[in-house]
Every structure is written in structure tokens, then in C-alpha cells.
Structure 1
Amino acid sequence: MTTTDLAPLADRVAAPADVPVPTGTDGLTWRPLTRDDVPAVTRLLTAVEEADATPYRTSAEEVDEEFDGDWKDHARDTLAGVDADGVIRAYARVNQPPGDLRVVRAFLDGAVDPQWRGRGIGRQVLAWQQARGRQLLAASGKELPARLAVFTDDGAEATVRLLRASGFTPARFYAEMRRPLDVELPAVEVPDGLSIVPWSAELDEQVRLAHNEAFADHWGSEPRTAEDWSQGRSMFAPTWSFVALDDSTGDVAGYLMSGRYEHDWPVIGYKAGYTDLLGVRRAWRGRRLAPALLATVMAAYQADGMDYAELGVDTANQSGAHRLYEGLGYAVFHSSTLFSIEL
């Protein structure tokens, strides 16, 4: 189906005039989130992640950076349920990234305190998110396929049941993979005519453009604007990030960006370097550049005393990334799913 075959965006998303604020929620009062709520939201997420036994924890820095981005309207796109003691027991966010060119997306994110589950609060919060998400999709004015999207860990069974009951279906499956660094690292030569250099701020804009090109054929990926690209870097590890350059032209052929999530280490019981982004532009594919970048970063992780190298992968990635990682010694240890309503 092409965009010319689609019904008008406004008809497809059916955005409501008003967003239904939850009612009858055992005394919770509802208001938007502000940056002052970062400690409270962090505590709530820790409680949720402990209850769901997830192999990570969300840090205050990561919660705080969700307030970055001039395109976000926190007064209308966030919600907090506060009890009589002033404690946040539930929250919700909706984000519609500004750079979408192929599918216009609204990402829904939220949580309910485990002690307050089973009272119908999550159902009402999700209804609020869907309504606000549809409003944001309609307001984008982009006559494109549209999507309401929610990422959830596969172990969060209550969330999975709620999403299915609310009309969401699994759209994509993701695996977290890790490789021990106390065994021999893969010996992968850098392809002829290319050099792998440390990431630098001077190269960052070229890396952004390379990323947009490299991921243009990946399901669910959309171009990152300069502002969007610069956000979400509270855990960015520059010394674990690398860029592959073409020796003859200086063009960026590929890149690897890492994060250092030290707050996860006590939870998982080991120290790890995490590969957040890995990409190779089409003109340089088929030369084993991705394995060379991974071998380079594994050596950097190992030199800094890390026990494991970790990364995440779309299990249906058409580039064969899952097989590539397995061939380098990575194995799956956790999984998650993107649920969506396609509009």
C-alpha cells in the first residue's frame, strides 16, 4: 500500500476532542509531570523493575533526559497519579518524534506502582495514552501510515495482558545479547581502505547522517533530527564509541556508539559495556566492517575491566545481525516486544 492509497490521517487516527483523565482511582489525583518529579518517577520505576525482575534499572539521569526536547509539551503529554501523601503511584508519557518521514509514530510509556496494581488504574492510564497519542498523530499533519507503539519486557506479564486486551498486537521482537570478555576475543581485521578511529564531537553530525542512511531500510526506524540525535546521552560512553572512515574520501562508512550503565551492574552481577548503536552504510556493506567495529569495542570494554559486552537486536533484522552476533560469541539473555496499533 502506498501513501496515496491511505485514507486521510485524521480519519485513520480518529483523535478524540478530549483526553479522558482517569477517575475512580482510589483517591489518586492527576496532574502533568514536571522535572521536579524526577526522583519520584525514578523510585516508581525501580519498584516496577524489581517487581518484574528486569535485568536493568532506570537511573534518575535517564528519567531527567526525557524532559529534554523542544518538541515535547509536558503539560499535555504527561500524566502523574498522586496519592494523599503526595507519592506518585502511576505515570504516563506520550512522545511523537519530530523526524518521522515513513511512519508517523506515537510512543506510549508509563507504569503503575506494583502495590497499586489490580485496581484498573493501568487500563485507564493506557486509555489516556492512546487518546493523547491519537491527538499527536493527527496534529503531525503527516499523511503517512501511523502507529501507536509500546515497548515492554516479555516478563511483564500483566502489561502484556493489558496491551492485548486494549487492541495492541506484537509487531516486533527484540533480544538482549551478551558475550563474555574473559575468553579470547574475535580477531577481525579492519577492511582495506578503512580506518577505525575514536568517536569525536567533530564527527558526530556525520555519524548522525550516516545513521539515518544506514537505518533507512530497517523496520521501524525513522530519521533522527539533530536535536533528537543529541538527546538521551546521559549514559553515552565516548571512549567506547568508534567511527569507521573511508581512507580515500574521509566519509563515515560505519559507527558504533556505546553506553556505560553502571547503575545496572549491581542488578546483573557483572560489569558490562553496552553497544547502543551499530551501523554500516550500504556502500561499505559486505566487507565485515560491523564485526571489525564490534571487535574494536570488545577490546576497549575488556581494557576497562568489563566482564561482558552487551547489545540489543531486532530478531527479524533483515541484515542478519542476530546471526552475526551469535557468530562473535553473543548469546540471548533477555527479550522484549514492541506492541502496536497500526493506523
Structure 2
Amino acid sequence: MTAAPSAVAGLRWRPITAGDVPEWHRLVQAIEAVDDPAERYTEEDLHDELLDGSWKDPARDSTLGVDDDGVPRAFGHVQVLPGDVRTIRAFCWGGVHPRWRGRGIGRELLSWQERLGREKIAAAGSTGPGRVLVHVDDGLAATQRLLDRAGFRRLRVYLELTRPLDDDVAPAPLREGLRLVPYEPALSERMRLAHNEAFADHWGSEPRDRENWERQSVGGRYFRPGWSFAVLDGEDVVGYSLTSAYEQDWAAQGYSAGWTDLLGVRRPWRREGVASALLAATMRALQADGIERADLGVDVENPNRALDLYTALGYRESRRSFAYGKDV
């Protein structure tokens, strides 16, 4: 097991437990109040990050830095998702209370995350390469400098896009033989397989196994079946969109929104208006429920020119973030 971070700034380190979630959440809220991230966490989210999934082991994968009074002041978490085959990815997430920054805690925490990430990648037993990854919101210059000094490289730029829903959205036509249908659980497995095929040519994407898909996509608490759709050719799922309601983010962003988590079209059916039809259906469903905007994210270097499509449909950039990585 990877050794805990060194004792810096008077913090003692131990794994995060389920009983820590309320105080851990208060720490995360203090960090969010200063850093203004795109994504806000509830206590339930933190519980799931720690425990929801057979691949998770908080005693191994997490660390919590507490002060002399036992109050959490910093945390770290490392996760390798099941199903990675092309590149084994170790996702690192963590933070330091704003009043405890500038004492070397972040540097020590990142070092611990990299060591654990390397161990988890090696333990995966794959012959493929490994990569330790950290996601950083734009504007967090100190975090970006920390990553630069630690030898991480900026690998990707991601945009968050928003589209106001104060005008009429017309349905987008599909060619004969294709039909748009609302999500239903009977489509879930076919959609998972379609997703794995559609994203096989996307940077940083790996196949989703059934447990991960059912827990974190169509089974997640934020998933909204009524805002999600598939396009069928016969009984084949050729395109799909999954949209969620992250209501805890609405106050900070100043509007209600449906966030399209996943949108994909299998290669033989691209350039046939499938993605446009899915997004139009999503926007119309959001409008019907009184939601103010449709939001989604995109890799600037998406090989299928997704950004051009979204821009043509009225989406505009609202924020950006970066993927930093180190190949191991």
C-alpha cells in the first residue's frame, strides 16, 4: 500500500471513511466557494465517489489530512476505472482548504497521488500504457503551475457550452429508415455498446463496462430518462444522448440546465443528421419542463468536428478546463 503523504503543515493523514463524509463535504464546500468550479458536490456525491462501485477501496484510494483538532483540511483520491484497455488511466482528484494553502500541502498531495496512480496502473496487469490524469478548471493558475513543476503536461482543452432555450426549437429531420425514440431501460445495453463503438476513436476514451454504465450513467441519481433519446436503424442503436439535471450547480451558474453527459453516433451513421436530431429532441424536452438552458462539454480537438455542430445549433462557450497528464 502506498505510504500516506508526509506530515506537512501539522496535518495527519489517514484514509477517508464513510463517517467522514459530512466533514469532508464541508471542506469541499470551502474549496468550491473560492475556486468556483463548474461541478459542485453534494454529500451523496462524495459518498458515491468513495464507495459506489465494486472497484473502489477507500482504504487504498483516498487520504484525508486532518489538523490537531481532527478537522479535515486537505484530501486526495485516485481512481482507475474498470474496462480500460488502450490506456490505463489513474484519475486524481483532491484539494486543500484555502486557508491552508501555500504550505506545501498540495505538492505533497500530488506526489502521493502520482505514486498511488502508478501502483494502481501497474496492478491493472495490462500491457497497454498508463497515464496519471488531473482535471483543472480554467483560472486555477496556482494548480496549473504545481502540475507544470511536477512534470505534468497539458494534454487537452475542454469547453463547456450553453444554449439558451428561449426560442422555438424545431425537430431535426432524419432520413428514411431512422427513427428517434425516448430512452427506456430496455435500450440501456445496446446504448452502452453503441457508446463504446462511437467513442473508440476519441482521445482518452475507454470502453465502459456494464457495472460502470449502470451505476454512473443510466443509473445515476441525476440522470433524466425524459431528456434522453436514441436513434434506431431497425433495432440497432446508431446514436444516443444521455442528459442529467445537476441541480446543485444551478445556483452558482445562475440558471437551470440539462447537461448532456453523453452524445454519440456510430461511424457508419455519421453525417446523417443523427446528432442534430438527438440534441433537438433534448432541447425540446428541456423546454417542455421549463428548463432555461441546454449545456454540454466538448473536447476542442474532437476528431468529428463536434464543436462546429454545437455552434451551428446555437451553443456558445461558457467555461473551459484542462486535462493534465503524465505517461507512466
Which digits, 9 at most, give the CA deviation of each residue in 1:214-273, with x for residues without a partner? 000111000011111122312111111111111xx3111111001101111111111111
**Correspondence for 1:21:** 4
**Correspondence for 1:30:** 13
1:50 and 2:18 aligned:
no
CA contact (8 A) 1:27 1:83 kept: yes
**Correspondence for 1:238:** 225
The TM-score, its normalising length taken from structure 1, stands at: 0.91
1:174 and 2:158 aligned:
yes
1:332 to 287, 310, 317: 317
Matched letter for residue 224 of structure 2: A
CA contact (8 A) 2:76 2:93 kept: yes
**Correspondence for 1:4:** none
Alignment of 1:82-93 (within 5 A): 82-93=66-77
Most deviating of 187-196 and 221-230: 187-196
How many Å separate the matches in 2 of 1:50 and 1:184? 36
- Identity of paired residues, percent? 49
Q: Secondary structure at the match of 2:197?
A: helix
The TM-score, its normalising length taken from structure 2, stands at: 0.95
What is the deviation of 1:84? Answer: 2.3
Alignment of 1:203-218 (within 5 A): 203-218=187-202
Which digits, 9 at most, give the CA deviation of each residue in 1:287-324, with x for residues without a partner? 01001000000000111111110000001001000110
How many Å separate the matches in 1 of 2:193 and 2:228? 16
Q: Secondary structure at the match of 2:151?
A: coil
What is the deviation of 1:88? Answer: 1.2
**Correspondence for 1:63:** 46
How many Å separate the matches in 2 of 1:65 and 1:231? 10
CA contact (8 A) 1:65 1:231 kept: no
User: Matched residue pairs, number?
Assistant: 324
What is the deviation of 1:20? Answer: 4.0
Unaligned runs of 5+ in 2: none
**Correspondence for 1:307:** 292
What is the deviation of 1:121? Answer: 0.5
What is the deviation of 1:187? Answer: 4.4
Matched letter for residue 262 of structure 1: E
2:261 to 276, 293, 311: 276
How many Å separate the matches in 1 of 2:93 and 2:117? 11
CA contact (8 A) 1:65 1:234 kept: no
Matched letter for residue 26 of structure 2: R
Which digits, 9 at most, give the CA deviation of each residue in 1:27-54, with x for residues without a partner? 2211111222222222222221221123
**Correspondence for 1:267:** 252
Most deviating of 32-41 and 96-105: 32-41
Matched letter for residue 223 of structure 2: F
1:80 to 52, 64, 70: 64
Which digits, 9 at most, give the CA deviation of each residue in 1:80-118, with x for residues without a partner? 111222221111111111201111111111111111111
**Correspondence for 2:235:** 250
How many Å separate the matches in 1 of 2:288 and 2:201? 34
Matched letter for residue 30 of structure 2: A
How many Å separate the matches in 2 of 1:154 and 1:129? 21
**Correspondence for 1:135:** 119
1:153 and 2:140 aligned:
no
CA contact (8 A) 2:171 2:281 kept: no
CA contact (8 A) 1:186 1:328 kept: no
**Correspondence for 1:317:** 302
Most deviating of 59-68 and 20-29: 20-29
Unaligned runs of 5+ in 1: 1-17
How many Å separate the matches in 1 of 2:12 and 2:260? 40
Judged with a 3 Å threshold, the aligned counterparts in structure 2 of structure 1 residues 139 and 281 are, in CA distance, closer, same or farther, namely: same
